Structure 1
Amino acid sequence: MMENKSISDIIEAYLKEILGDSAQIEIRRSEIANHFDVVPSQINYVIKTRFTIQNGYLVKSKRGGGGYIRIERVNLLDNIDVLNSLIQTIGDSIRERDAFAIVQTLYDEKVITQREGDLMLVALAKQTLDVGDTDIEARLRARVLISLLNRLRYES
């Protein structure tokens, strides 16, 4: 059943299905757009929002006549460059939802156990970091998450 699924959800599922167990896929934006009868910018939106470094993907695109988009599944902790770009993406502050997405990806990729993930979520939760100022909370959350990621890096 496709009920309650947005076109973005359907396109995301389709791309993940194509990716399957492969490390990477190359797609033509226009072909995918034609397949789903949507504008190419819809494909860009899905890739930009669903295939992020936080979710364990690197995306490279080549424009022009033979243009393609490469979606590569990456292990967040095995690859130091990927971890560094993830930490750069986190930056000085991060929203709870984005931090939780990173923890979910670590769990999905079997980098952490469910128990470790639950502990990380508690440490990153709004309730835990509530100091009455959302900007300060987001900055604390980023520092905690980056510390956890660095710790994981040295354990694996």
Structure 2
Amino acid sequence: MRNISDIIEQHIKKIMSGGGSGICEIKRSELADMFNCVPSQINYVISTRFTIEKGYVVESKRGGGGFIRITKVGLELNHTLHRVILDLMGSSVTAKEAEGMIQRLHDEGVLNPREARVMRSVVCTDILALTPAIRDQIRANYLSAMLVALLKG
């Protein structure tokens, strides 16, 4: 059985795809009522499942008429793609951030399943048995090198 976070995520994605615009505006309290959970659960789902690395921009307006707007940002297969990803990544990247980027590239059709698996195996924490700061820098270098190679070919 799926957990409540998975269910909320799928519901939000369904709303986004339903309108065809890739934009979803929700009220946190209404969504919490719908799923019989606390509003902080909605915050958790949005902050972990709808990140920039995964291709989403989240805006919020607080107050009585407040809302949360989630926008799916598409990728274009050109030189800009590599630049955008490198700018997001910077000089270091955590395993979670790398996974988000790889998953997004797979979801967008930039990577096939095999390429995504290979990239995950290279940047996983287990393979890089180093101190966290050095590991994150090396992970960023590996990820960058793989993206350059894949996007050139």
One-letter amino acid of the counterpart of residue 119, structure 2: M
Give the deviation of 1:52 after TM superposition. Answer: 0.8
One-letter amino acid of the counterpart of residue 33, structure 1: A
Aligned residue in 2 for 1:111: 110
Distance 1:150 1:63, change over 3 A: farther
Give the deviation of 1:89 after TM superposition. Answer: 4.6
Distance in 2 of aligned mates of 1:149 and 1:62 = 36
One-letter amino acid of the counterpart of residue 53, structure 1: I
One-letter amino acid of the counterpart of residue 10, structure 1: I
Give the deviation of 1:33 after TM superposition. Answer: 1.5
Aligned residue in 1 for 2:57: 58
Give the deviation of 1:150 after TM superposition. Answer: 5.5
Give the secondary structure class of the aligned counterpart of 1:117.
helix
Distance in 2 of aligned mates of 1:77 and 1:118 = 22
Aligned residues: CA RMSD = 2.9
The TM-score normalised by the length of structure 1 is 0.76
Identical columns (%): 42
Give the deviation of 1:74 after TM superposition. Answer: 1.4
Distance in 2 of aligned mates of 1:108 and 1:26 = 22
Aligned residue in 2 for 1:135: 133
One-letter amino acid of the counterpart of residue 24, structure 1: I
- The reply on whether 1:7 has 2:4 as its aligned counterpart is yes
Q: Point out where structure 2 has 5 or more consecutive residues left out of the alignment.
A: none
Q: Alignment length, in residue pairs?
A: 150
One-letter amino acid of the counterpart of residue 133, structure 1: T
Q: Point out where structure 1 has 5 or more consecutive residues left out of the alignment.
A: none
The TM-score normalised by the length of structure 2 is 0.77
| Pairing 1:7-156 to 2, within 5 Å after superposition | 7-20=4-17, 22=20, 23-77=22-76, 80=80, 84=84, 87-126=86-125, 128-130=127-129, 132-149=130-147, 155=152
